[in-house]
Amino acid sequence: MSKEKINIVWFKRDLRLKDHQPLKRASESELPALLLYIFESSLVNDPHYDDRHWRFVWESLEKMQQQLADQNLNLLIVYEEAENIFREIRRHYDIEAVFSHEETGIDLTYQRDIRMSGLFKEWDVEWDESPTNAVHRGLMNRNGWRKTWNSIMNQPQQDPDLNQLKRFSADDHLLNQINEEIPNRFKVPNEQFQTGGESKAWEFLESFVHERCANYNASISAPGPARSGCSRLSPYITWGNLSIRQIIQYMDQHYDDAPSKRGLRSFRSRLGWHCHFVQKFESEPRIEFENMNRGYNDIRTEWDEEKFEAWRTGRTGFPMVDACMRSVIATGYLNFRMRAMLVSFLTHHLWLDWPKGSLHLAKQFLDFEPGIHYSQFQMQAGTMGVNTIRIYNPVKQGYDHDPEGTFIREWIDELKEVPSELIHEPWKMSEMEQEMYNCRIGDDYPNPIISDIKESYKHASSILWSKKGSKEVKEENKWILKKHVKKRR
Ligand SMILES: Cc1cc2nc3c(=O)[nH]c(=O)nc-3n(C[C@H](O)[C@H](O)[C@H](O)COP(=O)(O)OP(=O)(O)OC[C@H]3O[C@@H](n4cnc5c(N)ncnc54)[C@H](O)[C@@H]3O)c2cc1C
């Protein structure tokens, strides 16, 4: 008996039903379409990821399921390796085409895509991949990239007509062979984190464009105010609850009535940076594993696990560093400036190499986007070679961006009773003050892990600046600046 012919829409980090070219293409076909999301165990267990990510994905999928059910459609959600599930589907059905978005991700997903591409070719299955947010695969150079990006952002959205999509429900023979059991821990809500799903994403977008953008520029650097003053769209973009084109077009439509046009303009340029970094990562995926500029390979050679542990757990004795770390562990969010400060503290003041730290923060950031994350991490660590070297003083950052210590007190219980004038340098408290404010330094709250922040600054800056002028760094920079672009697949 011949097998039923079907198409498959493979959802990855594009968890929405609007402006979705793969879904649109499937809806225009005569064949029924199996809508599929795969929780891949290798990815779930990868050190970049944490349950917080899969909970966000689960919430997004649940909302999609509800919308699809209204149209009498279904989304098949499985917990399997991609190769296994496609093999199993193929045993039962004749797959004509697989529609999906291109993914610019970590090496693990890239290698998986190479394997899947090989399998689809072998099986004579067409793999129709659509670009994600105007990022191009296999681009030979980035000349004119910005112009093309702008033009794609202005093009009509690719909304599928779900009424047109030919209904498909998998038969029991297939369902009996696959694992639909999704770990319960992904399904337990946690109010500390942003909730996934298209409708939530729209709530954030609308409130930002109509109200919150008024405070954008003023609050962007301070960790407390940034939580409401910034758009907070990053997890929705990373997991594809919204396309960047949807955001830009909505913003343009409402630009004239927005409470801060300047705020919206700054925000718009950051959406461009987002895609720019992902595009760069598309051609330089090696920065997941090595310094962008290899001239810096020999600078941070010693490792100190105790110092790393103190940084990782928010127990360095520097209140602003510890508050930021504890807050991102608890909520998955931190604003740009404070992310940069955490990296700066690790790589400059503690003088520890970046890879382990970058894995730790990837796990914490609900919006973990490999292209931005690795570029930013290396920029802050000073290993890109072509950027200005910035070394943040964590004490000054505290005085500047949390002058009253409100954010610090929110995240560091031990410092709750310490008054504003002492909270940024608690080690300066006298014995009596420590007694009075219920915080014994070295006991309740750690002694600072670095005895002299000015010395650690000097040490880092002298090495980084002398390296920057060195022959090997300059040679590498020439190559980097040539915008050499390696074709991926
Ligand atoms: C070490 C480090 C790691 C980072 N890792 C990530 C990451 O994994 N994922 C991520 O989305 N952002 C990352 N960022 C960039 C930035 O911190 C976040 O995008 C931002 O804080 C998210 O909050 P928001 O959505 O309220 O931002 P908004 O200020 O409202 O910006 C809107 C959008 O623009 C993009 N954006 C903002 N700032 C940047 C930037 N500097 N570079 C590129 N795109 C930007 C994001 O998509 C963001 O959602 C990182 C920054 C640093 C310093």
What is the signed CA dihedral for 97, 98, 99, 103, rounded to 10 degrees?
Answer: -140
Atom of ligand 1 nearest to the CA of 365: 8
Per the prediction, the chain carries an average pLDDT of 95
Instruction: Please state the pTM of the whole predicted model.
Output: 0.97
Task: Indicate if 36 and 50 belong to the same structural domain.
Answer: yes
Structural domain that includes position 255: 134-155+198-283
Examine the fold and report which residue of 244, 262, 283 is the final residue of a domain before the chain moves on: 283
Task: Indicate if 93 and 147 belong to the same structural domain.
Answer: no
The CB of 268 under 6 Å from ligand 1? The reply is: no
Q: Please, where are the H alpha helices in 230-335? A: 234-238, 244-254, 261-283, 305-313, 319-331
Other CB atoms within 10 A of residue 288 CB: 22
Give the residue whose CA is nearest to atom 24 of ligand 1.
Answer: 232
Q: Which one, of 365, 331, 108, 238, lies nearest residue 343 by Cα?
A: 365
Task: Indicate if 209 and 312 belong to the same structural domain.
Answer: no
Task: Indicate if 338 and 273 belong to the same structural domain.
Answer: no
In percent, the amount of the chain with pLDDT more than 90 equals 89
> Within a domain: residue 227?
yes
Q: Measure 238 CA to ligand 1 centroid, in angstroms.
A: 10
pLDDT in tens, 66-85: 999 999 999 999 999 999 99
Q: Which one, of 198, 10, 235, 23, lies nearest residue 109 by Cα?
A: 10
pLDDT in tens, 249-260: 999 999 999 999
Q: Measure 98 CA to ligand 1 centroid, in angstroms.
A: 31
> Within a domain: residue 111?
yes
pLDDT in tens, 182-224: 999 999 999 999 999 999 999 999 999 999 999 999 999 999 9
d(CA 234, CA 88): 35
The CB of 133 under 6 Å from ligand 1? The reply is: no
Token pair recorded at residue 169: 């429900």
Q: Which one, of 149, 383, 365, lies nearest residue 274 by Cα?
A: 149
> Within a domain: residue 489?
no
Q: Which of 367, 388, 390 to mutate to test the pocket of ligand 1 (most atoms within 8 A of CB)?
A: 367
Residue 16 has pLDDT above 70, yes or no: yes
Atom of ligand 1 nearest to the CA of 373: 5
Intra-chain end-to-end CA distance of the chain, in Å: 37
The CB of 231 under 6 Å from ligand 1? The reply is: yes
Residue 486 has pLDDT above 80, yes or no: no
The CB of 368 under 6 Å from ligand 1? The reply is: yes
